[in-house]
A = this chain, B = another copy of it.
Amino acid sequence: MAADLNSLSATEISSGVASGSFTAEAVTQGCLDRVATREDAVMAWEFIDPDLALAQARAVDATADKGLLAGVPVGVKDIIDTRDMPTGMGSPIYDGYRPQTDASCVARLRAAGAVILGKTVTCEFAGLTSRKTANPHDPARTPGGSSSGSCAAVADNMVPVALGTQTGGSVLRPSSYCGIVGFKPSFDTFSLKGVFPAAESLDTLGLHARTVDDVELVTSALLAKDHQPAPDMPRPPVVGLCKTWMWDDAQAETQQAVEKAADAMNAAGATIRDFELPEEFEWLADVRGRINARERAVAMAGEWANDKDRLSEQLQNTLQYGIDTPFEDYLDAMYLMETCRVRMNQTFEGCDVLLTPVVDGEAPVGLTDTGSPRFQALWTMLHVPTITLPVHTGPSGLPVGIQLVAPYRADRALMAISRWTLDAIGA
């Protein structure tokens, strides 16, 4: 049996460990075995110490009071502090760096009985400069970024869930490329204490999983709340089909994924309405680079002053652009973004959820370019909760997701709608 434990969901694992069907140690060993078999091809991990992982698992087995995530192995993106493992930020500057304390999210996971299996590969400082991870579905293609290792590890059944972060599209894009569920909650939902900042007005901790139930379970653990899954929808949802101004540039598989989903949802009873964003929302695409670059330059002022030469040329260029961006231009961009956020919630009126593309298409070939964040970044800027569901396959046999977007703080409704949607599509 142990051979298959690594492919169980977090929900199945915690329930099995709690009931004594199997031990946390056996689950962790199963995941470690999977890593041992596949890591050479996938390269998802920056740090993994089997003894340390097994010791955590045995401690869970020895505890009478099993938590919500009893024995669930979790991958943690390597920009998130862990007190017992190095935290390298995907940069030689932090090579071997040992934080004093666990990040809030890691402490919460441990308190719920999770096993921190190891640290997953991140692009340099959660930016665009990729490292080594391959797409588990095709080693010649990128898994996406910047949460590359977290996504690949979950997609490859090395762990059921992993932590990622999204500043542009770093959770949802790789989740679509790797064919898993990726969730970015409303801005400010999960604490960022102990997470290296990228752009502070955009940074959001998110989750990679293979099921919506697992997203809900880990969310409950991170929020330290009673776990009551969102009740089923009392009626089919009203869905705004939001193609966005980027639709015509998306690849055919992305258009098909969204249109097929809309048809299936409609057939299952949903009301589908064409949904257009207010025209000035297009400006968000213009100002995003400015906000991102300036906030990154501010957050990394210390690294810039002391270790500039150890940053990649790509990141140096981004930070230099940020440094060269006048504060007044940044403030103009922030005004626009903040106005759009307020308008967004008025804009939803009548729709429970928006259905929209998540990526341009299948994962691009090559490991250097992690793909375009444009379809994800729009919603990150608006601070609304968003999820990608793996419902489609492209012409090369690679996964293509759809994206569902809910109003700010309607994260729980988004879970119920996601489950309904997967049922409707039969995915």
Q: Which A residues form the contact surface with B (CB < 8 A)?
A: 83, 94, 97, 100-104, 106-108, 110-111, 188, 191-194, 197, 200-201, 223-226, 295, 298-306, 323, 326-328, 331, 334-335, 342, 409
Do B301 and A108 touch across chains, with their CB atoms under 8 A apart?
yes
13 other A-B residue contacts (CB within 8 Å) besides A193-B300, A193-B302: A101-B302, A101-B303, A104-B300, A108-B298, A108-B301, A111-B305, A191-B295, A191-B298, A191-B299, A193-B298, A194-B302, A224-B323, A226-B326
Query: Shortest distance in angstroms between A35's beta carbon and chain B's nearest beta carbon?
Result: 26
Q: A120 CA to B226 CA in the complex, in Å?
A: 41
Chain B residues lying within 8 Å of A305, measured Cβ to Cβ, are 102, 107, 110-111
B residues near A342, Cβ cutoff 8 Å = 342
User: Chain B contacts of A323 at CB under 8 A?
Assistant: 224
Which of the listed residues A100, A191, A223, A226 has the most CB atoms from chain B within 10 Å of its own CB?
A100
B194 near A104: Cβ-Cβ < 8 Å: no
Give chain B residues whose Cβ lies under 8 Å from the Cβ of A108.
Answer: 298, 301
User: How far, in whole Å, are A342 and B295 apart by their CA atoms in the complex?
Assistant: 24
Q: Complex: how many Å from CA A225 to CA B328? A: 8
Q: How many angstroms between the C-alpha atoms of A342 and B201 in the bound complex? A: 17
Contacts of A197 in B (CB 8 A): 191-193
A323 to B223, CA, bound (A): 10
| B residues less than 8 Å from A102 (CB atoms) | 301-302, 305-306
| B191 lies within 8 A of A200 (CB) | yes
A223: chain B residues at CB < 8 Å are 327
Which B residue sits closest to A303, measured CB to CB? B101
CB contacts (< 8 Å) of A201 on chain B: these are 188
A104 lies within 8 A of B298 (CB): yes
Q: List 13 A-B contacts (CB under 8 A).
A: A97-B100, A104-B298, A104-B299, A108-B301, A110-B305, A191-B295, A191-B298, A193-B197, A193-B300, A194-B302, A224-B298, A224-B323, A335-B409
B residues in contact with A225, CB < 8 Å: 326-328
- Nearest-CB distance from A180 to chain B (Å)? 26
In the complex, what residue of chain B is closest to A104 when comparing beta carbons?
B301
> In the bound complex, do residue B101 and residue A306 qualify as a contact, i.e. CB atoms below 8 Å apart?
yes
Residues of B within 8 A of A97 (CB): 100
Task: Specify the chain B residue showing the minimal Cβ separation from A307.
Answer: B101
- A331: which B residues are within 8 A, CB to CB? 409
Q: For the complex, what is the distance from the CA of A201 to the CA of B227, rounded to whole Å?
A: 24
In contact, A192 and B200 (Cβ under 8 angstroms): yes
Residues of B within 8 A of A409 (CB): 331, 334-335
Please name the residue on chain B nearest to A342 by beta carbon: B342
Q: How far is the CB of A224 from chain B (nearest CB, A)?
A: 7
Contact partners of A101 in chain B: CB under 8 A: 302-303, 306
Smallest beta-carbon distance A316→chain B, Å: 16
Min CB–CB distance A373 → chain B (angstroms)? 22
A302 touches B104 (CB 8 A): yes
* Residues in B whose Cβ lies below 8 Å from that of A103: 302
